[in-house]
Amino acid sequence: MRHFSYSRAESIDQAVATFSENQHASFLAGGTNLLDMVKLDLIRPELIIDVNRLNLNQIEVLEDQRLKIGAMVTNSILANHACIKDKYTVLSEALLSGASTQLRNKATTGGNVMQRVRCPYFRDNTSMCNKRDPGSGCSAIDGFNRSVHAVLGTSDQCIASHPSDMCVAMAAIGASVTVTGPSGDRDINFLDFHLLPGETPWKEFALKEDELITHITLDAPIEGARSTYLKLRDRSSYQFALASSAAIVALNGNTIQEVRLALGGVGTKPWRAWEAEKMLQGQPANIENFEKAARIAMQEAKAYKHNAFKIPLAQQAIVRTLLNLTAN
């Protein structure tokens, strides 16, 4: 058994300072991912810094109608918040589709953003994995790569898909991540926060090791828009997405005035379908255009031996969400 020390932070400054003084420290929020990683011997912290007492559990509507969410807000509280259910339905549905009630009661907004991949070759601690052991190779590329492996944003170094439902919804909405460290606060565009694997798959976040997420601010809701989240998986509970679609649509009559699309289960990061959005803008809301947009969204996909089915599955998810949002 590996031993570690424990420290409870009483302020953000104290948490950051304590972390900076220890090269092998980890922040503890809900712990739903961290404890798994420790048990599997994937990370070996010498110090655990508990940030649960920090005042980061507030949800606030700002003057410009953006929504500020504290990093310690739990997934359950966020999903059931009145403003989220009313103005950001896609986010509420995404959160409620993830994990179990017990886990949602513990998991936090900041922790969800920092969630690690579920690739079994990463988690078994024995297979070749560039994300866990840089330069060792990627067992998934020629291995069993069906359910938790991507077809978008992959490289010859890593094909693990990003696991979060919440992050897919936030990618569609638009957001910024505020972090603090020894150099002070800074904001990171949500779409830039998660990094593509490229040649350095062990670098997963645009976050310095000694920085702490303090809150996430969602873009203001689109006036008159409707939104939804569709998660397709092997079973209906406690399962990661094979493919998912987060969609936001505002109509002017039957014309698409504004649309946002993001995909989960198929990308190495929460995937924004920019080209599909551009194609749909100003077009009639009909199945022909939705199917065309779905093909465009997946045109850069690269299938591997066991996950080629994800390409048509993601296309179906896109079409279904758009049909659901535009039905009279």
Find, among 73, 103, 78, the residue nearest to 93 by Cα: 78
Give the tens place of pLDDT for each residue, 6-28.
Answer: 999 999 999 999 999 998 999 99
pTM of the entire structure?
A: 0.97
Q: What is the pLDDT of residue 1?
A: 59
In 3-state terms the chain splits into helix, strand, coil percentages (rounded to 5) of 30, 25, 45
Q: What is the pLDDT of residue 3?
A: 87
Q: What is the pLDDT of residue 133?
A: 96
Residues of the chain with pLDDT below 70 are: 1
Find, among 126, 113, 13, the residue nearest to 72 by Cα: 113
* Residue ranges with strand state E in the chain: 5-8, 25-28, 47-50, 59-61, 67-70, 175-181, 184-189, 212-218, 226-232, 243-252, 255-264, 271-272
Find, among 207, 204, 165, the residue nearest to 75 by Cα: 165
Give the tens place of pLDDT for each residue, 214-231.
Answer: 999 999 999 999 999 999
Q: What is the pLDDT of residue 241?
A: 97
Q: What is the pLDDT of residue 12?
A: 96
Q: Please, what CATH class does the domain formed by 226-326 belong to? A: alpha beta
